Amino acid sequence: MRTAIALLVVSTVCCTAALAAPVDASKSAGEIMFPIRGPERALFEGFETSVPPAGWTLHQTNVNDTWTQDCGLNGEPYEGSCFADCQYDADYSGPQDERLCFDYTIEAGDECLCFYAFGSIYWAVDPYQNYNLVVEIDGVPVWDYRNDNDGAVTWQWQLYCVDLTGYGVGEDITVCFIYEGYDGAQGAFDAISIGECISEQQYCCPSATICDQLNFSANSGGAVGATCGAGPSPWEWGTCTGNPATDCDGAPISNEWCTEQSGNYPSQRGGAIVVGPFNITSGCVCLDLCHYYEIEFGYDGGNVKVSADGGTTWELVEPSAGYDDVLDSTSFIAECVADEPVFTGDSVQYVRDCFDLSAYEGEDILVGFFFGSDESNEYLGWYLRWVKLGSDSSPVESTSWGAIKAMYR
């Protein structure tokens, strides 16, 4: 089934602009994307009401599958509660050329058409090229997923922007979002906007210089336990089983921290390990983490917190690509991390996540890795390979945003 069925991690690197974290669904669309200067000029469509939205047209060619409103059935929206989704025709009744179109008059200040999209790199690009997502303006393709995906990852939202400055104020245009192909895979759009180009915000990592690093293959990194939830803590250091053979750098795995060295983590258990202290300076503000996890999605999980008072209080820090879900179940309560954003689900391989710690510049901090499970269903757990701290980094001329983004989850 070529469909995203788990929470979709927000991944945002684009041709002209990027946002670094999932948005707060409680905010309005205008607050999320950019200040809307009156409804007469700015357009934003998050597909919260219907697909097609009011004023849009749906051109359907396939009898089975076309654009529909998806509110969590086959993936999570980038913002709000819903998104526009097109499934592939698994009955092979014929090709798909499914179009969502709207008319728009260019106003002063309309610099970009921006949108979030996801698809399958596996099916859309070589060797299959079974389908494509395309954006057209007045019948002319201005973007397509196969050729302009900017290092996208399958089933991960990514931001793209199309330059509109070549169109004159008062010019009427027709914009179409298209799913085309045969025997393809799922495709989706969300948070479509016309107005100001979204400001670029770079990944904090990878660091140009390293100020501190903990390689858990060599030793435990001086990590100590911290109490949270029902103990004893599941964290152990040494040779762990069940994990992939190589880490984020392709190096073979030896020792590391994990929530159970052999077998699955226990149910109804919580605990944390703490490393540091680290002195956060202008040259030491980015935390780069290499980790792997296979955790019961939506019920168990782990996250990263920072303490600037020696461990008395802890504050959650968000990775650039965001956490996978919030553990908000009222029936199955995870120790330590209930009602908090967490890494959860299956990362498949060792992945890198980046945390911007510039808010703590000038302070000595501890970094804690908090994990918790509920009363049932035990999985392999969370594995920590290494931690690096360094300076804020910008891509050099020979490095593309796609290459940098592809290093991270």
- The reply to whether omega before 206 is within 30° of 0 (cis) is yes
Per the CB < 8 A criterion, the answer to whether 184 and 130 are in contact is yes
d(CA 371, CA 376): 15
- DSSP H helices, 51-128, are 121-124
Tell me how far apart the alpha carbons of residues 238 and 264 are, in angstroms, rounded to a whole number.
Answer: 15
Query: How many Cα atoms occupy the beta-carbon half-sphere of 334 within 13 Å?
Result: 31
The answer to whether 94 and 63 are in contact (CB under 8 A) is: yes
pLDDT at 286: 92
Contacts of 158 (CB under 8 A, 6+ apart): 11, 12, 13, 14, 116, 117, 118, 149, 150, 152
Degrees to nearest 5, angle at CA 270 with 267 and 273: 135
Mean pLDDT per 10-residue section of the chain, whose length is 409 residues: 39 29 30 28 81 97 97 88 95 97 93 93 91 98 94 86 94 98 96 79 74 92 87 90 91 93 90 94 91 93 95 92 85 89 91 91 96 90 95 51 61
Kindly list the structural domains of the chain, giving each domain's residue range(s) and its CATH number in brackets, ordered by start. Answer: 29-195 (2.60.120.200), 210-396 (2.60.120.200)
Using CA atoms, how far apart are residues 183 and 56, in angstroms rounded to an integer?
27
Burial of 364 (0-12, 13-18, 19+ CB in 10 A): middle
CA dihedral 176, 179, 181, 185 (to 10 degrees): 160
* Residue 326 · residue 341 · CB < 8 Å: yes
Sign of CA dihedral 105, 107, 112, 113: negative
The answer to whether residues 366 and 332 touch, using CB atoms and an 8 Å cutoff, is no
User: Could you read off the pLDDT of 79-108 as tens digits, one per residue?
Assistant: 888 999 999 999 999 999 999 999 999 999
- Please give the sequence-ordered ranges of beta strands (E in DSSP) within 182-254, or none if there are none: 187-195, 210-215, 224-226, 236-239
pTM of the model: 0.57
- Give how far the C-alpha of residue 166 lies from the chain's centroid of Cα atoms, to the nearest Å: 32
Q: How far is it, in rounded angstroms, from Cα 53 to Cα 50?
A: 5
- Condensed to tens digits (0 to 9), the pLDDT of residues 106-148 reads 999 899 999 999 999 999 997 899 999 999 999 999 999 999 9
